[in-house]
Amino acid sequence: MIKALGYLGVSSPRYEDWRTFGTDFLGAQLAEDGPDGAVRLRIDDADWRIQIHPGAADKTEYYGWLVDYEEDLPVVVDRLALAGVTAEWGSPELAASRSVNRLVVFTDPWGFRHEVAWGQNAHPSSFRPGRAISGFVTGQQGLGHVVLMLPDIDKGHEFFSGVLGFQLSDKIISPSGLNARFYHVNARHHTLAIAQCPPGVAGFNHLMLQLKSIDDVGWAHDRCDEFGVPVTMTLGRHTNDQMISFYCTTPSGFHIEYGFDGLEITPEWVPRVYTRPSIWGHKRAGSGGPGIMHPLGD
């Protein structure tokens, strides 16, 4: 069913700051603004991948997932119905605003809005990065990965794996208290991760963007101070996907993991359990903690 993370939408009172943060720092390209004045960012030939809507508070709005075939959409609707979750078909106007052909919309048990779409608009050979970079790893691997914080990781597994078909890549269960599961739907090591958090809490932690060169990552890391971008986790390498990355805070509060050289899933892949998240690095920097953007803005 779901084959990639296609797009992400948030709202923020600092949406205009993304014009500089997204282009000069991340290396994305500005697309034409959304109908409500939203800032839209491109990282490949898709019309846009990240949309920041004007809003009174920082809030996650929707996660846009992609399927390969139009016929997969009613399958998603039926599987959600069996799990007691109602999905609705999006209007043609909504589909046009998301730059897709068709989509269905539902809210998961933790309040996150998801959109499952087919037919994402793209214009071959049209991407022009906002700064000199080698480019982003997208294609069949989609936008990147997202990490959601859930109060019950076992129920999260039942929903995302059992209902939506995300496949377990591995787990990290560390003595420090980290309890996370990582899921793939394509060659990317994980397109979704869920992590245990305190009861009554659910939120969006970070979006990962993967670059084609370590120099692209190093350039951004070196210039965080110049752009006033807070580093929340220093440069390091993860144990499970072996991504070399650092984490920074966006103008809207959630984190971006900016990385290079992640492992890819093979047909022989066997899930494992790790007891630490990083081989080296990834130290907390400044006051940056595990920032959470709550789905309902609270």
**296 in Cβ contact with 206 (< 8 Å):** no
Q: Give the tokens for residue 93.
A: 């106007």
The reply to whether 112 and 30 lie within a common domain is yes
Residues 182, 77 share a domain: no
Same domain, 273 and 146: yes
Residues 59 and 193 in one domain: no
Whole-number Å distance between alpha carbons of 281 and 218: 14
Does residue 70 sit in the same domain as residue 107? Answer: yes
**Residue 183 in this model has a pLDDT that exceeds 90:** yes
What is the reported pLDDT for 154?
98
pLDDT tens sequence across 50-98: 999 999 999 999 999 999 999 999 999 999 999 999 999 999 999 999 9
Determine contact, residues 173/121, Cβ cutoff 8 Å: no
Is residue 296 included in any domain, yes or no? no
How many degrees, rounded to 5, is the angle at CA 193 between CA 236 and CA 143? 80
In this prediction, residue 199 carries a pLDDT of 87
| pLDDT of 203 above 90 | yes
What is the residue type of 6?
A: G
Say if 186 falls within a structural domain: yes
287 pLDDT more than 60: no
Q: Are residues 164 and 95 in the same domain?
A: no
Residue 292 pLDDT:
52
How many CA atoms lie less than 13 Å away from 18 in the CB half-sphere? 29
| Residue 129 lies inside a defined structural domain of this protein | no
Residues 173 and 223 in one domain: yes
**Pairwise CA distance, residues 42 & 138, whole Å:** 11
- Domains identified in the chain, total number: 2
At residue 291 the predicted structure's pLDDT band, cuts being 50, 70 and 90, is low
Residue 7 lies in a domain: yes
What is the per-residue pLDDT for 289?
47
Mean pLDDT along residues 96-102: 98
In this predicted structure, what is the pLDDT of residue 200? 83
Range scoring the smallest mean pLDDT among 17-26, 214-223, 227-236, 285-294? 285-294
* H or E stretch covering 280: strand 278-281
- Mean per-residue pLDDT, 210-224: 97
pLDDT level of residue 286 (50, 70, 90 thresholds): low
Q: Report whether pLDDT(150) > 80.
A: yes
User: Does 133 fall in a domain?
Assistant: no
Whether 44 and 148 share a structural domain: no
Average model confidence (pLDDT) for the chain? 95
For 117-185, give the DSSP string.
EE---B-TT----SSS---B--GGG-S-EEEEEES-HHHHHIIIIIIT-PEEEEEEE-TTS-EEEEEES
Residue 297's pLDDT is what? Answer: 34
Residue 290: pLDDT band (50, 70, 90) is very low
- Asked if residue 110 belongs to a domain, the reply is yes
Per the domain annotation, does 67 fall within a domain? yes
Q: How confident is the model at residue 298 (pLDDT cuts 50, 70, 90)?
A: very low
| pLDDT tens for each residue of 21-44 | 999 999 999 999 999 999 999 999
What string of DSSP letters covers 18-57? Answer: HHHIIIIIT--EE-PPPTTS-EEEESSSBS-SEEEEE-SS
Six-digit token pair at 179? 């309890």
Average pLDDT over residues 245-258: 97
Domain boundary among 71, 87, 118: 118
Higher pLDDT, 187 or 198: 187
CATH number for the domain harbouring residue 28: 3.10.180.10
Q: What is the mean pLDDT of residues 266-290?
A: 87
What is the tens place of the pLDDT at every residue in 114-142? 999 999 999 999 999 999 999 999 999 99
Distance, CA of 231 to CA of 229 (rounded, Å) = 6
Domain containing 147: what range?
139-281
Which percentage of the chain shows pLDDT scores above 90?
Answer: 93
Could you tell me the pTM of the whole model?
Answer: 0.96
Residue 128 lies in a domain: no
